Structure 1
């Protein structure tokens, strides 16, 4: 028996089929559209908006109908900067609510309501971007001889990273920015177009999140000239460069902190939190002594860090560096300590500085859990999407025998069915405006996590995960090496050097050439389809071992089917393919047959398949 599909349910999202493109202003009235299947029994559809914290109801009007569905439209006044709304279907015997999480025959809180926002989204280029994260020490050596600092423990390029222990932050391989520039052909062959560099400032560690200064690039990486050269090389290829900045803390050897220690009456002393009761005498991020926390109660700190063209944020966006955006490390904790909460002020200030200097720059926050309160779109534009993408997908595809920790939770990664996974994805997605969801940085791992290949075990499931990464709403982001099946048991252990000898040979024990071909093909697939880059999201199948969804624009409909194991298959509505039209296979080997009364999707698995239906 085939599984039941979900396309007989009403639907709405923030994509162009349902909400006009563009950003509304206060006072505008936005017509929003709702799709209801012909089999539904609604007597009327109402839209509940919230204006000045008070709900109001407006009846939607029937716009058009055919044998398969009815479309309703309602006018939503944009009275507040973020205007929330949901649909009410008046039906015999009661009513049901439709919000971002789905359909409910009971009353629900406002957290998952749809949202219109007057704040501009992330720049348009991010909808078609594919982000490639590089940890500079581990990507490539240029061959330029450099003297390692006293704190470093030099490593050979083929050495295994030390995942835990005192040597972990000081094991130095010697990758540099010129090495990255010399390997840009690899990135273009793969198909990525945006490089995200983890920090490049001088420090006392290989990860460089403990900056000693924000005034120049680490000489170990080649200095300022190397960053300028890399940026110019990227721009010359039509690619972009995003930096990484720690607004939350500096390193203990930072020039500001050293000045503050010498002179507690100095301006720099106001930049930090001091704690006479602690052994350190100062507040450190997560009690890590090397990372003293910054205090945004100091207006002078804001001027130096985030406010205006002369700030750190501003300086590196201007020439000659001309970064195309910033990823903000531990953005959720920036400005927050005890009763202090300057986070949203800092985010708005960073955003204003970036808009002044480069309105086309992207601003990405790091936030590992529920980021809804920080993602209205006014400050951070998008988030590294661990909660709504990485973590739920891991639980669906994880090797049942895994012993890996689950990203800060004191347990191993649990294995869950597709229903739980999709409920989690929808629940987190629904807490932010669609224009945020549509450009979130979706990842299968990063420099802070185990590698995907280690999480799932089976290379066929790597392909399933990658298929979802490149077809789901948002901006796909991958960590250098994932495209070759890199492995690693935690974030530090996963920061493996790129095995260039094996890459050039087409494969080896540390480079899977077939996985590279999978990533390359899926990136090309995404670039070939506007629906995959910009379309809405309708869940079609949610079962334990398989999920499927439609990505739709006004001119295209694409079906994505992903399975972690063989499953029963599904019959989808025949009208999804226009009469006389043919289905076009875009990726995968799954089966889809057009019957007189249905589209019959086979139960192949594990695997991922993509078809263009219209």
Structure 2
């Protein structure tokens, strides 16, 4: 038994309140080291003459990554408080593990064990319930559809007439989205994420000039309100992009600094290193990355904080938006985000707060800041396995298990799972235009835990390299769309909506991975259903034995709703898949 690898901490992803009466407990151990683990638990104040009174519960092996196993147990303490530890077994020895370390046997002393002092309802992480059943669609407004040519900026090109460049315009606007809302309804979309819509100097709008005004190329506030109302009538929520880490170069406050320098009343609004402030040859002020056009805002300054919180509240109060996606969220101070959450949740308690963070995000996901982050570890693992063939089936399972065990389950259920975006190459391009691989990506994304997001045009086979190539005009001529791909994505979304286990109600478990044949088998299990999905990520025909007991079951193939005869043994075509449903 390698005791050095055994780890638990009574907070974050290792011990947390799943709901108002349930605790989840995790233990980490060296991969393959422990053969069984029991949770020792009891109320801290219940004692007998023999010592502290406790009981045990078996823990399940939740998953494994390349180094560790993760053990899991769910417990409902009678009095909402808990002392607990672990009874652990390897093939050669056993031990009891608590906050004070290891013991040969239960010391019957609650002080030896870990403590969950009290399950306070206010401390439970709780993302908006509607998010768990939402399928998002990201729209880069300049490139989705041109509905009103009178709004076109100077030099606007005919729609789709050229490949995009960093400074080209094609005239996408709000009316274009409204006119094509049926495309989203038909696909099954229930949430739209719009990249920035506020007045800016570029086509991407991440260099805000005025946070209180719509960019005129998209329309006016009346048209925006019409867009929101149209979406809501069709069961679609709307999330806006908040660029609060930095402003644009032409933001009024920054222009005042450049003009008046040390005498500017806005000089504390930015991180200025010296005077005179200048952009060239290199900016002597903090920016997003090293872009002089995006000066970093000082969100610790009371006036900046007041201004940005006013912005955040205004668009909810006046237009009833449903969420904020927070750009470069990890570079803004935590206290600002705490105040941001309090401010917007008072106005609309179920507004969705999504942070753009590309790395471990636990510090932002403890219930006091964000509801979710953009799940790039999921993105990277999925693309490296399905699209790029950079990792094998075992490595894919390890990476996804690491993602799932890095956060509480109620956090994972609200995670924003994307495959492509305005910041990355098109997923069909990453797949070397192998559409069969793209189908597998969509299958995995739409059957995984979390809330999936489709980047506009991926559902009809748009291609493109990194920015600006990934920002092509949406193709609206049906003859040029990949209708087969569209219908597959539509069908997968309908399965997610129809079957509780396929979506967020299903507990995700890898059943088997095979590196030689490069397939994965995983299950999604809810109270009523179990769905077993097998994916062949290879160019070979393969035979697979599914590690599941189908005795006395009536399995159904969910893809064509045919009844399966010999379900445990299946044959898969190259890049084929199987989706089998059984009632519990």
If the length of structure 2 is used for normalisation, what is the TM-score? 0.80
Structure 1, unmatched stretches of 5+, are 1-18, 35-39, 64-70, 99-109, 163-167, 335-341, 401-414
Match of 2:397 among 386, 403, 422: 422
Q: Which residue in the other structure is 1:337 paired with?
A: none
Aligned position for 1:45 = 38
Shift of residue 350, structure 1, vs aligned partner: 1.6
1:547 and 1:561 in contact (8 A); partners too:
yes
Pairing 1:396-411 to 2, within 5 Å after superposition: 396-399=385-388
Aligned to 2:56: 60
By how many angstroms is 1:77 displaced?
9.3
> Could you tell me which residue of structure 2 aligns to residue 556 of structure 1?
529
1:177 matched residue in structure 2: 174
Give the Cα–Cα distance (whole angstroms) in 2 for the partners of residues 43 and 253 of structure 1: 62
Q: Residue 137 of structure 1 aligns with which residue? A: 142
Distance across 1 between alignment mates of 2:255 and 2:387: 45
- Residues 297 and 73 of structure 1: is their aligned pair in 2 closer, same or farther, counting only changes over 3 Å? closer
Aligned equivalents of 1:86 and 1:528: distance in 2?
Answer: 40
Tell me how far apart the structure 2 counterparts of residues 378 and 364 of structure 1 sit (CA, whole Å).
13
What is the CA–CA distance in structure 2 between the aligned matches of 1:41 and 1:156, rounded to whole Å? 64
Which residue number in structure 2 is paired with residue 483 of structure 1? 459
Cα distance change, pair 41–32 in 1 and its aligned pair in 2 (3 A) = closer
SS at match of 1:602: strand
Residues in 2 aligned to 1:569 and 1:552: alpha-carbon distance in whole angstroms: 21
Q: 1:261 aligns with which of 236, 258, 283?
A: 258
Runs of at least 5 residues in structure 2 that lack an aligned partner in the other structure: 1-14, 28-32, 45-51, 60-71, 98-113
For these two proteins, the number of residue pairs brought into alignment is 512
Q: Which is higher, the Rg of structure 1 or of structure 2?
A: 2
Contact 1:172 1:206 in 2 (8 A): yes
- Are 1:460 and 2:436 matched, yes or no? yes
The DSSP-based 3-state class of the residue aligned with 1:609 is strand
| Match of residue 293 from structure 2 | 290
Q: Tell me, yes or no, if structure 1 residue 305 matches structure 2 residue 277.
A: no
Q: How far apart are 1:393 and its partner, in Å?
A: 1.0
| Structure 1 vs Structure 2 CA RMSD | 3.5
Deviation at 1:62, TM superposition (A): 6.6
Structure 1 residues 78 and 361: CA distance shift in structure 2, 3 A: farther
Of the candidates 180, 184, 188, which is equivalent to residue 185 of structure 2?
A: 188
Deviation at 1:214, TM superposition (A): 0.5
- Structure 2 partner of 1:409: none
Q: TM-score, normalised by structure 1?
A: 0.76
1:441 match: 416
Q: CA offsets, 1:362-391, max 9 Å, x none?
A: 01111123323322332111111111x111
Among 389, 392, 404, the alignment partner of 2:381 is 392
State the SS of the aligned residue for 2:208: coil
1:607 and 2:582 aligned:
no
| Aligned mates of 1:97, 1:317 — CA distance in 2 | 52
Moved over 6 A (4+): 19-22, 31-34, 40-44, 77-80, 83-86, 588-592
Q: Distance in 1 between matches of 2:167 and 2:576?
A: 40
Residue 403 of structure 1 corresponds to which residue in structure 2? none
CA shift, 1:474, in A, is 0.6
Please state how far the C-alpha of 1:359 moved relative to its aligned partner: 0.8
Q: Displacement of 1:451 after TM fit?
A: 0.7
Deviations, residues 241-271 of structure 1 (Å, cap 9, x unaligned): 1100101000000112112333434442211
User: What is the distance in 1 between the residues matched to 2:405 and 2:191?
Assistant: 27
Q: What SS class does the counterpart of residue 463 from structure 2 fall into?
A: coil
Match of 1:280 in 2: 283
Change (3 A) 1:72 1:331: closer
| Alignment correspondent of 1:3 | none
User: 1:516-562 CA distances to partner (integer Å, 9 max, x unpaired)?
Assistant: 11111111111111112222111111223111211111111111212
CA distance in 2, matches of 1:395, 1:298: 42
Counterpart CA distance in 1 for 2:552 and 2:54 is 40
Residue 285 of structure 1: CA displacement?
0.8
Partner of 1:407: none
Partner of residue 109, structure 2: none
The offset of 1:347, in angstroms, is: 1.8
